[in-house]
Chains A and B, each alone.
Chain A
Amino acid sequence: GQNIDQPTEMTATEGAIVQINCTYQTSGFNGLFWYQQHAGEAPTFLSYNVLDGLEEKGRFSSFLSRSKGYSYLLLKELQMKDSASYLCAVMDSNYQLIWGAGTKLIIKP
């Protein structure tokens, strides 16, 4: 079967750096997405990786290793507003998105 694994919850301190990991086992691979979802709100797009390596976008970066079935989202200079769930989703060989359950990130002052 297809599977996406993320930690359920992580805690970090304001101003620090946090890395949220995502491992996947899917039938084929056509890209990996990261979304941010604040409590009670809709998910919003953060990043897309289809080739190995690091994609940087401001305070957020996303890394992909296709051979290892692994990605991470790196958040720098954490702010209180970064408290949210972070969803990892992989597009399989049929171009269908397979979603992880999300990682709830708690930021403490």
Chain B
Amino acid sequence: EADIYQTPRYLVIGTGKKITLECSQTMGHDKMYWYQQDPGMELHLIHYSYGVNSTEKGDLSSESTVSRIRTEHFPLTLESARPSHTSQYLCASSGTGDNSPLHFGNGTRLTVT
């Protein structure tokens, strides 16, 4: 079954730690995205990619990096976690058409203490 997977589902870490949030999709989608979402707030785009070896910064990209070495894999790395990074992180993918909807993973809920 084609899907999009995120791990871990929940993560609690201390300030200053380096973490990588994993995202993989089996739909063969070229476009992939990372969003941050706080309760009751809009989604904010962190990074996106339109294909292998292509990555672009979104609105909240300054404290994180991504890589796209394989079509199906789009990990997000926080070099030094801070309490302000506490949030839900959603990975999504979409097909090539402009009207292709986003397919979201179940998210990673990150808490930085």
Tally of chain B residues near chain A (CB < 8 A): 16
Chain B interface main SS type: loop
Known: A4-B42, A96-B45, A99-B42. A45 touches B102 (CB 8 A): yes
Count class of interface residues, chain A: 20 to 34
Complex interface residues of chain B between 90 and 110 (CB less than 8 A to chain A): 90, 98-99, 101-107
**Chain B residues near A89 (CB, 8 Å)?**
43
Q: Which residues of A contact B107 (CB under 8 A)?
A: 41-42
**Interface set, chain A 38-54, CB cutoff 8 A to B:** 41-45, 48, 50
Q: How far does the alpha carbon of A45 sit from the alpha carbon of B107 in the complex, in Å?
A: 16
Set A31, A33, A41, A101: member contacting B42, Cβ < 8 A: A101
| Chain A interface residues toward B at CB < 8 A | 4, 8, 30-31, 33, 35, 41-45, 48, 50, 87, 89, 91, 95-97, 99-102, 104
